[in-house]
Amino acid sequence: MPKLTYLGHAAFLLEGAGTALVIDPFLTGNPNAAKKPEDVKVDWIVLTHGHGDHLGDALEIAKANNATIIAPFELATYCGNKGVNAHPMHIGGSHEFPFGRVKLTIAHHGSAVVDGEQIIYTGNPCGVLITMEDKTFYHPGDTGLFYDMKLIGKMNPIDLAVLPIGDNFTMGIDDAVKATELLNPKKVVPMHYDTFDIIKADPEEFVRRVQEKGFEAQVLEYGGSLEF
């Protein structure tokens, strides 16, 4: 069974199929980070978009582990230009990796690296479906609610989804509850809350409200894990 560990914010460690991946490893500067970047041992890094709270420590982790970054084309190119291994993909595309299948989905958001006063745009942001050991995990990246979530869930039955609930930059709780209904995952876990004052949200409220609609849901502590 694949194992998911919450590293805080939108960062997750996914272990299974004899390997380990980290998604959106924002650890340095994340007050809730459950690991230090030097303690992350992975073969693969998946990035949804270029914002600092998602790109995070990806380049350092990639270099230290000789890991490969899987990202939307423009962001993968940015990372490749920084000297790390990168596998570019794009929206709607899927690829079979040694650990399983990765498919990128739309996300309604932005994507850029902010370097001092310079903004380097890194294409479209994405969500990601990862199928490993016959289980499908969905990390939507940062996004607002969109109705195509219904199609995503229908065509790619989701065993475990993580959804942003922090509002302001992404869905808040009301929209994340609706997203759960559209995606129809076997289980859902909230993310992207409380890291900064502006995204304070109560994850227990989200869990209670989706449970009332018949979904399995759980708050993961920082550093907490679940198998699915």
For the record, the structure tokens of 7 come out as 């590293």
Burial class (CB in 10 A: 0-12, 13-18, 19+), 142: buried
Instruction: Give the binding-site size for Mn ion (rule: CB under 5 A).
Output: 2
- Residues in contact with Mn ion, shown as a per-residue x/- string from 88 to 107 under the rule CB under 5 A: --------------------
Please report, as a single letter, which amino acid is at residue 83.
G
Q: Which is nearer to Ni ion, 9 or 51 (CB)?
A: 51
Q: Which is nearer to Ni ion, 43 or 196 (CB)?
A: 196
Instruction: Using alpha carbons, select from 16, 31, 18 the residue that is nearest to residue 7.
Output: 31
Q: Which is nearer to Ni ion, 51 or 135 (CB)?
A: 51
Report 18-57 residues binding Mn ion (CB under 5 A): 53
Using CB under 5 A, which of 15, 57, 74, 142 touches Mn ion? Answer: 142
189: β partners: 162
Element (H, E) at 97: strand 94-97
According to the binding rule CB under 5 A, does residue 167 interact with Mn ion? no
- Residues in contact with Ni ion, shown as a per-residue x/- string from 45 to 74 under the rule CB under 5 A: ------x-----------------------
- Contacts of 112 by beta carbon, 8 Å cutoff, 6+ apart: 50, 51, 119, 120, 121, 122
- Look at strands 216-217 and 187-191 and give their pairing: parallel
Q: Which is nearer to Mn ion, 9 or 103 (CB)?
A: 9
Phi, psi angles (nearest 5°) of residue 122: -120, 45
According to the binding rule CB under 5 A, does residue 142 interact with Ni ion? yes
Q: How far is the CB of 142 from Ni ion (least distance, A)?
A: 4
Q: How far is the CB of 129 from Ni ion (least distance, A)?
A: 19
Separation of alpha carbons 132 and 155, rounded Å: 16
Q: Which is nearer to Ni ion, 106 or 207 (CB)?
A: 106
- Binding site partner of 139, from Mn ion, Ni ion, none, Cβ cut-off 5-8 A by kind: none
Separation of alpha carbons 13 and 23, rounded Å: 6
Instruction: Give the binding-site size for Ni ion (rule: CB under 5 A).
Output: 2
Separation of alpha carbons 173 and 201, rounded Å: 8
According to the binding rule CB under 5 A, does residue 103 interact with Ni ion? no
Residues in touch with Ni ion (CB under 5 A):
51, 142
Residues in touch with Mn ion (CB under 5 A):
53, 142
